[in-house]
Amino acid sequence: MSRLAAGVVLVTAQEPPLDPDDPGAPTGEDVGMTATAFLSVSLDPPLVLVSLRTGARMDELLDEQPLWAVSVLSESQRHIAGRFAMRGRVSDRLLFADIPYTRGEYSGAPLVGGALATLECRTEQRVPAGDHTLVIGRVLTARVPSAEGGPLTYFRGRYRQLG
User: How many structural domains are present in the chain?
Assistant: 1
pTM for this model (two decimals): 0.92
Residue 114 lies in a domain: yes
- Report the distance separating Cα 139 and Cα 132, nearest Å: 21
Tens of pLDDT along 59-77?
999 999 999 999 999 999 9
Model confidence pLDDT, tens digit, residues 93-122: 788 989 999 999 999 999 999 999 999 999
Range of the domain at 34: 6-14+29-161
Backbone CA torsion sign across 29, 30, 33, 34: negative
Residue 41 resides in a domain: yes
**Number of helices and strands in the chain (H, E):** 3, 12
CATH assignment of the domain containing 75: 2.30.110.10
Categorize the per-residue pLDDT at 44 as very low, low, confident or very high, splitting at 50, 70 and 90: very high
Q: How far is CA 85 from CA 5, 27, 34, 161, in A?
A: 17, 24, 5, 18
